[in-house]
Amino acid sequence: MKDMWTAIPARGRVILLVLLAALLVAPAALDRYFMSVLILIFYFAFVGQAWNIMMGYAGQLSLGHALYAGLGGYVAALLWFYFGIGPWIGVFAGVAVAAAFGAVIGWLGFRFGIEGVYFALLTIAFAEFTRIAFDNMSFTGGPGGLFLLYEEQRTHEWWNLRGGPLLFYYLGLALAAGGALLTAWLARSRLGYQWLAVREDQEAALSLGVGAFRAKMIAVLISASMTAIGGVFLAFYYNSLFPAQAFDIGRSIEIILAPVIGGLGTIFGPIVGAFILTPLGEALIALTAKFGVDLPGTKAVFYGLTLMIIITLRPDGVWPWLKRLLGLEPKS
């Protein structure tokens, strides 16, 4: 663990510590609105990191990550809704279900050689299939959605994830930081190098004795589990779940935005991407509202444009460029 820290140049360590300290004390100075924006940033940084492990490191394009987030959220929410089982226990069930789905998708994909765009379609197919299934099930609330009761007298039950913005702020921060730490640790492990080998050239990796199937399966399982945790977080933060949103391909695309904009296959990419995109989107909404234009879809058009511009001009994302700008490139 120690060499992960020393690998960062001194200036980067200072910036990182200052930012982290600022985020830790920030709630004292921020109002509810800015807190909510930061909570979303943390969420997108975390699930973006989960997707980054699969796409950025292991090179498997998944466009169905909403499936894992939705399953995690729904399982934990249903346990709470019907049996009063709190999300700290429910999250294990949610992760187990999501990981099981990930295992099936991964096994089908990697065992039968479904690659690239075909694999992406396989992941979409599973997410869409699940969305329609949830739409037609009554105990999940069907298309009308599942609502978690928000009771005033229970707002301090942090052990049941019932609380105000402060609770979700620090939990989100912990998730985003934890996700980055996990990725950094994985990236420097034997497994991390196997992922890179498989991503760059699977044939060559196989010929060197790298277990490509095993490496990719582990990537899917870790990624699905992390995304499911993010899904539980979001479900209990918003207190409502709809199949048309939770499993929607739009949700999957939201998850991939931050890592793509920030930089795939880098630890700070998803974080930088989330910190750029979410505030810009929020600022745009505030701006259009100020001019009296209240058109649904404005924010999404902006995201779409950003996505196209970044992928055309900086396909490696913003972070590698920002890193050079800040002088954080390790001397070689």
Shorter beta-carbon distance to other proteins: residue 24 or 301: 301
**Residue found by looking up tokens 């050689």 in the block:** 113
Is 144 a binding residue for other proteins by CB under 8 A? The answer is no
Q: 33, 112, 159, 321: which one contacts other proteins (CB under 8 A)? A: 112
Q: 54, 55, 66, 191: which one contacts other proteins (CB under 8 A)? A: 55
Minimum distance from residue 84 beta carbon to other proteins (Å): 31
Go through the chain and tell me how many residues it has.
332
Shorter beta-carbon distance to other proteins: residue 116 or 164: 116
Given a contact cutoff of 8 angstroms between Cβ atoms, the answer to whether 63 and 252 are in contact is yes
Is 137 a binding residue for other proteins by CB under 8 A? The answer is no
CA distance 211 to 83: 42
Given a contact cutoff of 8 angstroms between Cβ atoms, the answer to whether 278 and 37 are in contact is yes
H or E stretch at 137: none
Shorter beta-carbon distance to other proteins: residue 185 or 248: 248
Q: 26, 121, 182, 284: which one contacts other proteins (CB under 8 A)? A: 121
The closest alpha carbon to 274, from 189, 173, 200, belongs to: 173
Shorter beta-carbon distance to other proteins: residue 83 or 129: 129
According to CB under 8 A, which residues from 231 to 250 bind other proteins? 249-250
Is 125 a binding residue for other proteins by CB under 8 A? The answer is yes
**Residue found by looking up tokens 């800040």 in the block:** 326
Is 116 a binding residue for other proteins by CB under 8 A? The answer is yes
CA distance 66 to 300: 17
According to CB under 8 A, which residues from 250 to 289 bind other proteins? 250, 253, 256, 260, 264
Minimum distance from residue 308 beta carbon to other proteins (Å): 4
Structure tokens at 164: 């105000």
| 254, HSE (Cβ side, Cα atoms, 13 Å) | 23
Q: 30, 135, 160, 188: which one contacts other proteins (CB under 8 A)? A: 135
Where does this chain touch other proteins (CB under 8 A) — which range of 18-26, 122-130, 159-167, 205-213? 122-130
The terminus-to-terminus CA distance of the chain in angstroms comes to 22
Question: What is the identity of the amino acid at 195?
Answer: W
Minimum distance from residue 166 beta carbon to other proteins (Å): 33
Is 132 a binding residue for other proteins by CB under 8 A? The answer is yes
**Residue found by looking up tokens 């995109």 in the block:** 277
Question: What is the identity of the amino acid at 117?
Answer: V
CA distance 251 to 253: 5
Helices vs. strands in the chain: H and E counts, helices first = 15, 2
Contacts for 174 with CB less than 8 Å, ≥ 6 apart = none
According to CB under 8 A, which residues from 283 to 322 bind other proteins? 295-298, 300-301, 303-308, 311-312, 315
Is 26 a binding residue for other proteins by CB under 8 A? The answer is no
Task: Look at the alpha carbons of 245, 306, 293, 42 in this order and tell me if their dihedral is positive or negative.
Answer: positive
| Rounded-to-10 torsion of CA 106, 111, 113, 119 | -20
Q: 5, 33, 118, 321: which one contacts other proteins (CB under 8 A)? A: 118
Residues 72-111: x where in contact with other proteins by CB under 8 A, - otherwise, as a string:
------------------------------------x---
Q: 24, 136, 201, 329: which one contacts other proteins (CB under 8 A)? A: 136
H or E stretch at 162: none
Q: Which parts of this chain interact with other proteins (CB under 8 A)?
A: 55, 61, 63, 108, 112-114, 116-118, 120-122, 124-126, 128-129, 132-133, 135-136, 249-250, 253, 256, 260, 264, 295-298, 300-301, 303-308, 311-312, 315
